[in-house]
Structure 1
Amino acid sequence: MSNPNDKIKRLAFNLKKNPNDSFSKFALALELLKRDQVTKAVVLFESILKQDSDYLGVYYHLGKLYQRMGNHQQAGELFNRGIELAKDQKNRRTELELSEALENLKIETDYED
């Protein structure tokens, strides 16, 4: 069985070769989350958001991390932005996932948009 860190090393290597590769950043962030390296994952997700704001998957994952960290306002704003982007991209499934995440945020916290 391969070492779990091999995947992280491979993704980091790919990212070093192509620093603007949103897919590699996203995959690396998810791998880091599996190892509870939240701060590193947030940095990668935020980097994707800055360089590639149309990368729809980042809105859910970064929003959930903000929620987990107690940044409810940021989480709600990100979910709302993601919902609008999903509508623009006609991605109904992601729009519904983000809408559900926003509703859960409202139920679990004092967030109001």
Structure 2
Amino acid sequence: MSSKLEQLQDFLKETPQDPFLHYALANEYLKLGNEQESLARFVAITEQFPDYVGTYYHLGKLLEKLNRTDEAIIYYEKGMVVAQSKRNMHALNELRGAYRLALGEDEDEDY
């Protein structure tokens, strides 16, 4: 187990309601090549902290990598709703671009 992974798990024990720590841990598992653990953690974040908008993009990209594009599209759509409700235009634009690419559209096309 990596020291960063252990450190994140220790931090999470201290503050289990911090969505960023859950997100960081999911990303660390991904960096270590444990895609299934990362996937499970990203999905859990969307359930436990649905307003944590950064999760949706990374979850969608991981699902695409796992050839689960239909599921990725669903999470991109959910993420766009959250980003819009939070008025996070940067996240909305990133999600919209990923969504369009997943649909096979040109990223610059307008609806």
Q: Quick check: TM above 0.5?
A: yes
CA RMSD of aligned residues (A): 1.6
What's the offset of the Cα at 1:49? 0.9
**Percentage of identical aligned residues:** 32
3-state SS, counterpart of residue 2 of structure 2: helix
What's the offset of the Cα at 1:20? 3.2
| 1:20 and 1:51 in contact (8 A); partners too | no
Alignment correspondent of 1:50: 47
What's the offset of the Cα at 1:19? 3.2
Which amino acid in 2 is paired with 1:90?
R
User: What TM-score do you get using the length of structure 1 for normalisation?
Assistant: 0.85
What's the offset of the Cα at 1:17? 3.3
3-state SS, counterpart of residue 26 of structure 2: helix
CA distance in 2, matches of 1:74, 1:83: 14
Q: Which runs of 5+ in 1 are unaligned?
A: 109-113
Alignment correspondent of 2:22: 25
Moved over 3 A (4+): 17-20
What's the offset of the Cα at 1:30? 1.0
User: What TM-score do you get using the length of structure 2 for normalisation?
Assistant: 0.86
Equivalences, count: 105
Alignment correspondent of 2:61: 64
| 1:79 and 1:102 in contact (8 A); partners too | yes
CA distance in 1, matches of 2:20, 2:74: 23
Q: Which moved more, 1:7-16 or 1:88-97?
A: 7-16
